[in-house]
Amino acid sequence: MRNNGAVSLPVEKALWYVESHFFEEIRLPQLAELCGVSPTYLSRVFPLVLGHSLKAYLRRRRLAEAARRLAGGAPDILSLALEHGYSSHEAFTRAFREEFGQTPESVRSQGHVHNLSLLEAIRMQSNQTRDITPIRMERPGAILVAGLQEHYAGDTAGIPSQWQKLVPHLGNLSQQVGPYAYGVCHNFGDGFDYLCGVQVQADRDLPQDWVALQLPDQLYAVFHHPEHVSLVRHTCDSIFSRWLPQSEYHASEAPFFERYGPEFDGRSGQGGLEVWVPIKASGT
């Protein structure tokens, strides 16, 4: 089946939600409502577009993430099983063996997943650039952002699950400044680093595994992305492939970031966000 915008948009929303909430119970009727389609429609179009039913995709993604945790030395298999949606050690082991041909204990013992066929998060490959203009220019001064960081080399479909791990900390961090959350792209080269986090007063007393990044005093072109968060790359594509080449500015080497305000609904992915692009005048 050839994908088109009318078909792929609900599936993009469903993919984003699944990747953002796959540790939770996901019910087809509620997911379909969030995507603006009927349960029957979503259950039919999901496998047509992606080659997996929603249930199979969710099961295989959970098992893939569980396998990585085991290879990293997760000590309590029962807790891991419960976290990934299984009611017992036995049920988890049975599903794990059916998927990978090995037991959870053997993967934990070998300490790697090189010999396992893991289903990676699928990323939709649509490309929709459009005319776009900044809503304002802003120079906020230096900003210290802290949170969880991962490196992505090509495929960025793991970003929603990265945010999922951050959510419990939002609003509960003594060092947090302001109501905004930040998704910062930096250290480009062989892929890039993505830091999801919040502005903080200082880089001390942070949760374990958090990193801090100082954003420099910099002029930014600020763009509004009003659509579902899963489509933010369309706005970024439009900025860098259409607006920036036609403008009087160049992108600076500073990080660019997404900024999420109180109006953003992390459950549905709706509410809009801002994309901040560091710029400098041409010739400077």
What stretches in the chain show pLDDT beneath 70? 1-8, 48, 124-128, 154-155, 283-284
How far apart are the C-alpha atoms of 202 and 200, rounded to whole Å? Answer: 6
Q: Are residues 201 and 269 in the same domain?
A: yes
Task: Let me know whether 159 and 69 are in one domain.
Answer: no
Q: Is residue 33 part of a domain?
A: yes
Tokens in use for 166? 């951050």
The answer to whether residues 88 and 140 belong to one domain is no
CATH code for the domain of 85: 1.10.10.60
Name the one residue in this structure whose structure tokens are 């880089």: 203
Maximum alpha-carbon separation in the chain:
65
Q: Are 212 and 144 in contact (CB under 8 A)?
A: yes
Verify that 149 and 268 share a domain, yes or no: yes
Q: Nearest 10 degrees: CA dihedral of 191, 181, 22, 117?
A: 10
129 occurs within a structural domain: no
Instruction: Report DSSP state, residue 270.
Output: B
- Let me know how many helices (H) and strands (E) the chain has, helices first: 10, 9
Please give the structure tokens belonging to residue 39: 């349960």
Q: Does residue 131 sit within a domain?
A: no
42 and 91 part of one domain:
yes
- Number of separate domains in the chain: 2
Read off the CATH number of the domain in which 172 is found: 3.20.80.10
Question: Do 182 and 79 belong to one domain?
Answer: no
CB atoms within 10 A of CB 93: 16
- Burial (CB count within 10 angstroms: exposed 0-12, middle 13-18, buried 19+), residue 221: buried
Which residue type does 75 have? P
Q: What DSSP letter does each residue of 18-60 carry, written as one string?
A: HHHHTTS---HHHHHHHHTS-HHHHHHHHHHHHSS-HHHHHHH
- DSSP single-letter state for residue 175: T
Same domain, yes or no: 87 and 168: no
Residue 122: inside a domain: no
Residue 140 lies in a domain: yes
For residues 154 and 19, membership in a common domain is answered with no
Q: Which one, of 250, 137, 259, 245, lies nearest residue 198 by Cα?
A: 259
Q: Which neighbouring-strand residues pair with 195?
A: 149, 184
- In this structure, the answer to whether residues 162 and 239 fall within a common structural domain is yes
Q: Pick from 110, 127, 151: which residue ends a domain? A: 110
Q: Is residue 146 one of the residues assigned to a domain?
A: yes
Q: Which domain holds residue 249?
A: 136-281
Same-domain status, 33 and 101: yes
Same domain, 92 and 149: no
For residue 212, the cross-strand partners are 146
Helix (H, G, I), strand (E, B) or coil at 74: coil
Q: Does the predicted TM-score (pTM) go above 0.85?
A: no
- Per-residue model confidence (pLDDT) at position 125: 58
- Same domain? For 152 and 252 the reply is yes
The two beta strands, 191-200 and 249-251, are unpaired
The answer to whether residue 127 sits within a structural domain is no
